[in-house]
Structure formats: structure tokens, C-alpha cells
Structure 1
Amino acid sequence: MRKIIHIDMDAFYAAVEQRDFPEYRGIPLVVGGPPDSRGVVATASYEARRYGIHSAMPCSRAAKLCPNAVFVSPRFEVYKAVSAEIRAIFRRYTDIIEPLSLDEAYLDVTTDKQGLGSAIDIAKDIKRAIREELQLTASAGVSVNKFVAKIASDIDKPDGLTFIGPSRIETFMERLPVEKFFGVGKVTAAKMNRLQLFTGADLKRLTEAELVRLFGKSGRFYYRIVRGIDDRSVEPHREPKSVAVEDTFSQDIAQVAAMEEELAKIAEKLAGRLQSRKLRGRTITLKVKFADFRLITRSNSLSHYTDASEALVAISCQLLGPVVEQYPMPVRLLGIAVSNFEEPDSASGQLSLF
């Protein structure tokens, strides 16, 4: 039986800022764009969260909820460096680590590298090391599969530790609100509620065929997970499915030429990220958010792989034309994503369209 730990740092970016700058401690702190900008909240300290501020909220909205909040710009290079220190701590206990982001990861501790005796003891030791060495706190969930461990890590934040053993999993899943299920967003949750499905127990009353009919292939996942079945392994060399760069503008852009200039800047930044990670992809996706918050995406798959900014801007501009013709209104956000990556050992493909 597997022993899985999910570690989730507590308000990571804000916690790093409060650690490095004592004047930020104990006050509502928001990491993100200026309060009068169109930027969004990257994260907020727990003092700020008491006012209802949360990640991905517009900074202007956060400023209205808490006029006394202090806003600071993200320092991503610092966060990456701290994240590397956290993963170095993880490696003392296991070599099977699957990072999900800078501030969370799955650890398979089935093999007890330090002979501590239990996954709970390992989680306690990791939390202690992070606290003593980095002056930060983390919450941990411990279980026999990834899904339950991830849910458990969120139960007792901040600085929590929750263990859900095999005998408790089905009861736990039955009581879990559907909003907490992996892959259930606001739209799916609303649909479930309209169908009188509010908890795992409600989902459990449906057959697999009924769930598939209602929710497509995700229905199979819901059928298994509500019974505590999650066979996914911790993947230490997890490859990204896509890499993206986007920008929200301080003022809406109405001219196509200006949009294309912004796409060129975004493509340059995205190409740098791809090249630094030695990734080349075939599918280029354009993301456009209009002034009325309408969100449109369009994709084009090439016959070869690329990491070149020339290809990224050429394809994204081609995709942009029909979109702005169909929706003639100013744009507040543009983004480009690359996916469908080349296999690491493949020698085929070209660097660019040209």
C-alpha cells in the first residue's frame, strides 16, 4: 500500500515577503499588481484573507475589500530559489517527488528513506525542517493515494497535518462537497447542484454509466474517486502539458496593430521559457479576453515542432485576425500557449516556420 504525502506551503509568496520584510508581518499583505491596476492577486497573507481576498481576484477588488492592505510586486526569482530549498528538504526523505507548482508537491514515502517509521512522522519532520530552516510553514495531507492526500492538506490550514487512513477514506469521500472534487469547477458544481448532487454520497448513488452520461469521461473518475480508488502514481519527472505567457493591460487595446505588438512581446518571452526548458511544441493557442470579459481561445497545430518566437507571433497573429473581426471590441488581455510537445529523444521537427 502506498504512502503519499501532499505538501502545500501556506500563503507561500506572501509568507516569503513577510519573512524577508518584518514590516509586513501581521498586516493584510497582497502579492500582485498595484491596487489601481488590472492585475490579479497572486496570493494574499492570512490577515488579508480574512477580508475575503483570494488568489486570482482582481487587485482593484481586493483594494475595495481591504483599503488598508499593502500591495507588493511578486519576486518570482526569490520564490523559485526558496522552492528549490524546500525540494532539497523533500529529497532527504524520498526520491519520488512530483512538483505541482512552486509551493506544492506530492511525495511518495512508501520507501522510508530515513527509517522514521510512518508517513505521519515523515510529514511532521518535513514540516519541522521547513519551519526551522526556512522560517516558513507548510500544511500536509497524508493518505494512500494522491487525491485524498491533496484534499487532506487543505483541511487544517495553516500549519496543519491531516491523516486519512484506508478505513476512513470512503466515509470521508461521501461527506466531501462536490466542489472539492478534482476537476469540478463552478460550472460543473452548479450543474451537479441542479441535479441534487451536493456531496460524494450523492454521486455514489449513481452508476458509472449514469455519471458518464451526465459528465462525460470525467464521470468515470468521479465513480472511482468517490469510492477511494485513485491508482495514479507520483511522477517524479512530470512533464508540463503546456507553457503559456499572458499579459493584462492597464488600458484596453482597440487597434489590431497594437495587439500584434503586444503579441510579439509575449511570444519573445514565451520562446525564452521554452528554450530554457528545452521544449518544442506543435500546438499554438491564442487567448483573448475582451473588455466585457468575454474569453476566446483559438488554436493551430503545426506539422512540425517549434520554440521560435517568429513562429509563435506569426501563428498567434493569424489567429487574432478572425477573432477581432468576429468580436470588434477592445481587448484587456492577450496570451499565447504552446502544447503538444516533442518527445525528449526526438530529433525531428524544425526550429521555426521560416
Structure 2
Amino acid sequence: MKVSFYTSQREYSAKKDEFNTAIQAVIEKGNFILGEQVAQLEQGIQQYTGAKYAIGVASGTDALTIASDILGFKDGKEVITSPFTFLASTSCITKHKGRPVFVDIDEETFAMDVNKIEEKVNQQTVGILPIHLFDQMADMDKIMEIAEKHQLKVLEDAAEAFGMRWKGKGGLYRHAGTIGDFGVFSFFPTKTLGGYGDGGMMVTNDDELARKAKFFRVHGASKKYHYDYIGYNSRLDTLQAAILSVKLKYIDDAIAKREKIAKQYIENLSDCEAITLPKVKGDQKQVYYVFNILAESRDQLAEHLAKNEIGYSIYYPRPLHLQPCFSYLGYRKGDFPIAERVSENIIALPIYPEITADEVEFVCSTIKSFYK
């Protein structure tokens, strides 16, 4: 049996008429740049997440870069974040000549260890950039408490967390990305809300931040050819917005299916001593964007999966503080031992709404056969 790590074809086949109608409507009207479907999706995201504003941009990476610029994460100022994440979570700071300051992660959740943040705060610190990674939101209660105490800006990297919610001290669940000053989503195809190409969204509850974001995505222009800022060319494609609006209608059903798949993995692999299953800390609602395990002999297991035509991915094989592009920061091997250890053992298994129970069963049996 061949099991893809991800495929879009099954979803497209099931909703082909809706997707084709949405795409054709854009093509027939010909309004490809910031067309009405972009505004419709932005309104849909606002309603779903509870954010006051949603601003569509070309990618999740652009969303991080623009938000970092607006929040002042630049010119030698320091921003506290995690070394265990995708490049864009840190390159958005260095692009503006800001300085990322890493803290190690929690070994059970892979999220930034919030208990290590405050010791890194100094006069140069201007912000915190938590990453809601895989199936775990960062402890936003603690992060916002530290930010308020030290007057820091918070940029939530919720690129992987669309649909996730955190139950804070007020007793209400708040959507990932809507708690800090800015939050960002990625619509990369594999995400819980993913397009058929690149796309991203910035969300905020702040009037002034939203105003700037709308200017910054169109070269910094307040109106055509009138430039208030040096901005970016980063606009969510109208065709992608149309596709995403179709998918947004079914997002809760998609998340429920992901949860069912995750539970099947947990039930089938819980008795495998060579595997450590993911844990969740804090009162939150997951979306199971990725199903990661920590596995003994990870690289050999990966080879075994590949030989059996099972797709997998490794998020992430090398933490950012050990990447050559960040060598100038002066970090060395051993500085963040938990992130380094996790990167040697982590592996992601196939999970998407259309995967079948039989396919998940085959993945699990193949993993178990490796450890016999």
C-alpha cells in the first residue's frame, strides 16, 4: 500500500464543482489582484477567528516579515523566540537587521519554554515571537504577562495553527493569532486551511496596526501612487482567496477528521516503547496539523517507511541556532540541548482529512514491524 504524506487530489475530487465554480468566477470577472474574493475571505477569517481585522498577503513568510517591520523588530533590537521552528519565524527578524534571541523548548510539547523568556529580557528587547507549533499553542497567558510587564510587542506565528484555540485566564477560548499584537497564518497547501499555492494572512485587533498592514502590502501606498511607507508587493492572490473560501466552509469538519486520525495513531502506537507520542499542555483545542512522534533510530525508521512507500517529513532536522545562515549570532552546539535532541528524533506521519483508516493502520503496523 502506498501512503502519501499529503495529497490534495482527494479533497479536490470530492468538491470539484465548488472549486471549479469559484475559480471560474474569478477568471470570468478578471479582477486578479485584491479582487472581491480576497475581501470575502478576510471577512470570513475575521468571523471565524474573532479577529477585528484580517489582511491577506502573498504568504505566511511575508506576513511575518511585514508584521516584524511594523512592530519594530529591526535595527539591532532583540526579539525572543525559539530555535526549533521553520526559517521564516526568525528570518523575518533578521531581514530588518533585528536580532533573534533564542530560548530552548519544552521537550514534551516542542513549544518555546516560557519559563526561560524573562531571563533574556534586557534594554534592547522589543518583542516576543512565540510559535504555535504542530499541535501546541504556546502559553499565551504567561507570554502576555511578560510582555505587559516589560512593554514588549508580541507577534504570534500561527502559520501552522489555524483553528487552534487557547483558554486563557478569562475563561474564554481565543483563536491562535488573535491574542498578541499581530498574528499570522500560512495557507501553504498542507496547512489545516491550505490553498492550491502560496498565501498568507495577518490578523490584529489594533486599528493602527491594521491600517499600516493594508498599506504595507501594496508598496506602502495609502492610495495608488501615494506612498506613506517603503512597503512590499505582497497581496493574497484572488484565485487562492476563492479556493480558500470554499475550504473555510468545511474547516471544522476537516479538523474533526484530523482529530479522529490522530486518536487512531495514539491508540495504535501507545504500546510501542520506542515511540514517544505528543503531549498537550494547557487548556486548548488542537487541530492536528502535523502528527509528530519521537522515535528511536529515527533515520533508520524513515528509511523503513520510504521502502514501504509511506510518506513522512522531518520538522525539523536541524535547529536554527545551528544553521549556517545564523552562525553570526554566535550560538554553538549544546546551547539549546532540548531542541537539538528533539531534532534528532522527531518524525511526522501522514495526517490529512482524506487519509483512510486502513492507511493509518498500515503506517502503524509498518512502524511496529521496524521495532520488532
* Same fold (TM > 0.5): no
Q: Greater Rg, structure 1 or structure 2?
A: 1
Whichever structure has more strand as a proportion of its residues is 1
TM-score (norm 2): 0.27
TM-score (norm 1): 0.28
Return the structure number with greater relative CO, CA threshold 8 A, min gap 6: 2
